[in-house]
């Protein structure tokens, strides 16, 4: 990790400024948050600001019962919405089919009624003719017989057309009933869909607000991360660290680190790395990496940037050199791209000059 050395007379001043900024934040959070007890809770010797960071990240990464229930509710609502959409689609198809059948039924009924009306008019004419012929004198039996035959034929035709008109009328009523029912069902389906959609939108908005709230906890943790480093460094002892999947880190970041590795694995990215190392190991690395002077040469002067012993975040378990598949991350590796997209959610920030180096401050 690259570390820029500051003049010694400036270091106390900067530390005081950072602590001055962080104190009100820590005091406020201590009053608002109930410190959780996630896996790897820090020991009592760890500064309160570090415990606050851990609590903030726990709240950021752990869904509340309300959030979990809302997720379940939203899933059920979306399922209902899908069913409502299917009902609307079916309703529209049914209504369209009913409308298609309505026009021929109306035409057939109108034609049948027209034929029946013509047949009744013909029957009336034939009946009048029979009356006239019957009253004629001298009586013409042949004419009367012909008129009676005409009346009988007209009556039969009228009866046939009346039956047909009755059938087409019944058919039209059935089609109209089907069309009205289809329209009513479609209207009801649309109302149900609108209601289901409104519920999904409302639940989704609540989830968005809860997500923002959880992300806010991570943001607050990031704001005090440098103070965490400042307070932990002089007090750190090996007992303050723990192992997560073979990587030793500070207990206060263990829960967030574990969640990060678990979520990465769920996305198909297997992460590991090197976390805590002793000051002696840092001295050895300074020698191995060809630093001009172990204690004074800047990290950038080494063949591989290596912090001055006593300044590395590895020495207090707050930095990890991430690996994937046994290799250090490179800027183009899938693992780095995943980390670049999601690591901040877990409180880890990259040192731009070293794709593999991630810590709670990015330093």
Residue-wise pLDDT tens digits, 189-248: 999 999 999 999 999 999 999 999 999 999 999 999 999 999 999 999 999 999 999 999
Q: pLDDT over 70 for what percent of the chain?
A: 88
Q: What is the pLDDT of residue 33?
A: 41
Domain holding 319, by residue range, is 11-60+238-277+312-359
Residues 123 and 71 in one domain: yes
Share of the chain above pLDDT 90, in %: 84
Same domain for 138 and 177, yes or no, is: yes
For the segment 116-142, the average pLDDT, to the nearest whole number, is 93
Measured CA to CA, the distance from residue 321 to residue 319 in angstroms comes to 7
* 4 in any annotated domain: no
Judged by average pLDDT, the poorest of 3-12, 38-47, 82-91, 218-227 is 3-12
In a domain, 1, yes or no: no
Same-domain status, 31 and 96: no
Q: Distance (Å, rounded) from C-alpha 174 to C-alpha 180?
A: 10
**Residue 192 falls inside a structural domain:** yes
Q: How confident is the prediction for the chain on average, in pLDDT?
A: 88
Q: Quote the pLDDT of residue 131.
A: 95
Q: Are residues 76 and 185 in the same domain?
A: yes
Question: Which pLDDT tens digit goes with each residue over 50-99?
Answer: 999 999 999 999 999 999 999 999 999 999 999 999 999 999 999 999 99
pTM of the model: 0.68
Instruction: Using the predicted structure, report yes or no on whether residue 340 has a pLDDT greater than 50.
Output: yes
Task: Examine the domain organization and report whether 83 and 194 are in the same domain.
Answer: yes
Whether the per-residue pLDDT at 25 is higher than 70: the answer is: no
List the beta bridge partners of residue 358: 320, 350
Which of 221, 246, 264 is at the close of a domain? 221
Check whether residue 153 and residue 250 sit in a common domain.
no
| Residue 45: predicted pLDDT | 67
Residues 152 and 191 in one domain: yes
Rounded CA separation 256/221 (Å) = 12
Q: How much is the average pLDDT of 346-353? A: 95
Residue 206 domain flag: yes
Whether residue 193 is contained in a domain is answered as yes
Q: Are residues 15 and 158 in the same domain?
A: no
Given a cut of 50, whether residue 3 has pLDDT beyond it is: no
pLDDT above 70: residue 27: no
Predicted confidence band of residue 46 (pLDDT cuts 50, 70, 90): confident
Give residue 363's pLDDT band: very low, low, confident or very high (50, 70, 90): confident
Number of structural domains the chain divides into: 2
CATH number at residue 244: 3.30.1380
Taking residues 257-273, report their average pLDDT: 98
Q: What is the mean pLDDT of residues 100-104?
A: 91
Among 221, 254, 289, the domain boundary falls at: 221
CATH assignment of the domain containing 102: 1.10.287
The answer on pLDDT for 32 being more than 70 is no
Lowest mean pLDDT among 26-30, 138-142, 248-252: 26-30
């Amino acid at each position: 990790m690259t570390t820029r050395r500051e003049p010694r007379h400036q270091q106390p001043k900067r530390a005081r400024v950072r602590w001055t900024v962080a104190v009100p934040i820590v005091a406020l959070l201590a009053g608002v948050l109930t410190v959780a007890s996630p896996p790897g809770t820090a020991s009592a010797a760890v500064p309160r600001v570090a415990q606050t960071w851990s609590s903030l990240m726990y709240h950021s990464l752990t869904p509340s019962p309300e959030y979990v229930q809302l997720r379940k509710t939203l899933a059920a609502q979306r399922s209902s919405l899908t069913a409502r959409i299917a009902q609307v689609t079916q309703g529209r198809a049914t209504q369209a089919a009913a409308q298609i059948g309505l026009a021929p039924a109306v035409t057939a009924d109108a034609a049948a009624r027209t034929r029946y009306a013509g047949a009744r008019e013909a029957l009336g004419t034939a009946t009048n003719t029979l009356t006239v012929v019957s009253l004629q004198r001298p009586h013409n039996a042949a004419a009367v017989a012909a008129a009676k035959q005409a009346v009988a034929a007209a009556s039969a035709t009228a009866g046939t057309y009346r039956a047909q008109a009755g059938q087409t009328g019944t058919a039209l009523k059935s089609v109209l009933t089907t069309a009205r029912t289809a329209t009513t069902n479609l209207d009801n389906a649309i109302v149900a869909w609108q209601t289901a959609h409104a519920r999904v939108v409302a639940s989704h908005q609540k989830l968005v607000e809860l997500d923002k709230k959880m992300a806010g906890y991570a943001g607050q943790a990031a704001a005090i991360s440098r103070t965490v480093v400042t307070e932990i460094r002089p007090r750190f002892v090996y007992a303050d660290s723990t192992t997560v999947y073979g990587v030793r880190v500070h207990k206060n970041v263990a829960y967030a680190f574990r969640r990060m590795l678990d979520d990465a694995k769920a996305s198909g990215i297997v992460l590991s790395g090197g976390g805590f190392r002793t000051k002696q190991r840092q001295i050895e690395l300074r020698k191995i990496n060809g630093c001009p002077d172990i204690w004074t040469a800047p990290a950038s002067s080494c063949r591989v940037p290596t912090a001055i012993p006593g300044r590395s975040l590895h020495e207090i378990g707050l930095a990890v050199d991430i690996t994937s598949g046994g290799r250090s991350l490179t800027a183009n590796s899938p693992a780095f791209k995943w980390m670049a997209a999601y690591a901040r959610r877990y409180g880890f920030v990259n040192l731009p000059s070293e794709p593999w180096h991630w810590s709670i401050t990015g330093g």
